[in-house]
A and B are shown apart, each in its own frame.
Chain A
């Protein structure tokens, strides 16, 4: 993979991957390190993966889980860092949602539910790809996703519209 291709992939996916990593790691610097490591591993691959985007998410997930496991011994520091976590989203008043409220709503989800939401919305992965990454059935992923959306709506106080699907 050439540096130009890597740069293009980075521009397209780095932010969403970092958001995904932050679902596992409280320290934003560690999340950034995990994403960087995933891109470096991608660059060292002799042959490009079939789905680069899904491969990157799997790589970030494995790296983050490994790092989180090693951080268990330093749990006190981990929690202290979590209290000063910066925002997960850019402040964008045009979006109609409060970035801080969205972050808090996401943080209150279970890690499994949050993972599915992040992969679907910001990772733009299909449910099948998500099911391969999380190793859960597609139907289970879809059920979790709907449930998580309803929970976020409720926590953020977004009123339901009366439109029918």
Chain B
């Protein structure tokens, strides 16, 4: 049964009169459609943001897992250089002063008759014929250049 069938004529009249009134305008249709478009765009942006967030989390997780599977990082390898101050040995009271290197070398070279300097001086003085007078050094002779007196220069024992 349709309950509206029980309305009397008076009720139908007032119903019809009221229905003839048009409700005042509500929100603008354009505003609603514009807002709908804005929300649709926002949803799309949120989808992209969510997707990129998930991918970032997955990437970080993969990096952490792979790093933990590799084991702990090896300790850094390196050499430690330690400088230990060493007290200089007391200087012997009778130690002779160190000779200048140039003097020592020059004296050694010039005292050797077969040295280059000696040969040069001879050639400059007497000409090339004088070279024949120069005697080659005996096989057992000391080398033209003596050992550099490093230990002596540092104040150590020469022997």
Contact = CB atoms under 8 A, between A and B. Distances in A.
Interface residues of B, number: 31
Interface stretch (A30-38, A47-55, A72-80): A30-38
A97 B32 contact: no
Contacts of A89: 21-24
Interface residues of A, number: 52
Interface in B1-38: 3-4, 6-15, 17-27, 29, 31-33, 35-36
A84 interface: no
B44 interface: no
A40 B9 contact: no
Given A142-B3, A158-B13, 11 more contacts: A3-B33, A11-B29, A18-B25, A28-B24, A86-B24, A89-B22, A96-B20, A117-B18, A127-B3, A149-B15, A153-B10
A15 B10 contact: no
B39 interface: yes
Contacts of B9: 161, 163-165
Given A127-B4, A142-B6, A95 B23 contact: no
A15 B15 contact: no
Contacts of A122: 19, 23
B33 A6 contact: yes
**3 shortest interchain CB distances as A-B pairs:** A18-B26, A95-B20, A19-B23
A90 to B, nearest CB: 4
Interface of B: 3-4, 6-15, 17-27, 29, 31-33, 35-36, 39, 43
Interface of A: 3, 6-7, 10-11, 14-19, 28, 31-33, 35-36, 39-40, 43-44, 86-90, 92, 94-97, 99, 102, 117, 120-122, 127, 138-139, 142, 146, 149-150, 152-153, 158, 160-161, 163-165
B32 A40 contact: yes
Question: Which of B3, B6, B12, B15 has the largest number of chain A CB atoms within 10 A?
Answer: B3
Contacts of B19: 121-122
Given A95-B17, A96-B17, A146-B7, A18 B32 contact: no
Contacts of A165: 6-9, 12
